Amino acid sequence: MGVPEFFSLLLGGLIRLSEREGLKLTPHDLEVFIAHVRYDVLHAVSVMLVTSLHMTGEGDLAAVKNACNTLMTARFAMMTDMYLAVFGEPCANLAETGLEPCYRLTDNRIAEALRRARAGVSAERVVRGEEYRTRTDVPFVFL
């Protein structure tokens, strides 16, 4: 398993931006990003290996699929938030995209867990922290 194409393209874009804007980024400057990607890939491989040891039936497969869809939804939300912050343009949320039922979540416990986690953050550590703490929307689409 290699580095996802997205990260390679993003790194190339950072390098081109650096050259175009005269930012003079060095490999050392990109070390945290590169390490993040490396460990993200290692984490994915580790999870796949450990998960495979516990797959014994259809119910297990459904649980893993739900977990995978939960992670994809969280990534989508993170990237749309980043897009808004960087470009000042909102993206449609996942519920507005016509997400096919096979990608919708079957276990809604994550929604309440996210709301509780938001309420517990230190407002001074998050942009518009008080607003963030009281948000009740979630990026997840359920069956």
The pLDDT, as a whole number, for residue 2 is: 61
> Is the distance from CB of 141 to CB of 105 less than 8 angstroms?
yes
The pLDDT, as a whole number, for residue 36 is: 81
| pLDDT single digits (tens) 45-96 | 888 888 888 888 888 888 888 988 998 899 899 889 888 988 999 999 999 9
Specify the 3-state DSSP secondary structure of 22.
Answer: coil
Matching residue, tokens 């194409």 = 5
pTM over 0.85: no
| pLDDT single digits (tens) 101-110 | 999 999 999 9
| Residue 122: CB atoms within 10 Å | 8
Q: Is the pLDDT of residue 141 over 90?
A: yes
Longest dimension (CA), the chain: 55
Specify the 3-state DSSP secondary structure of 30.
Answer: coil
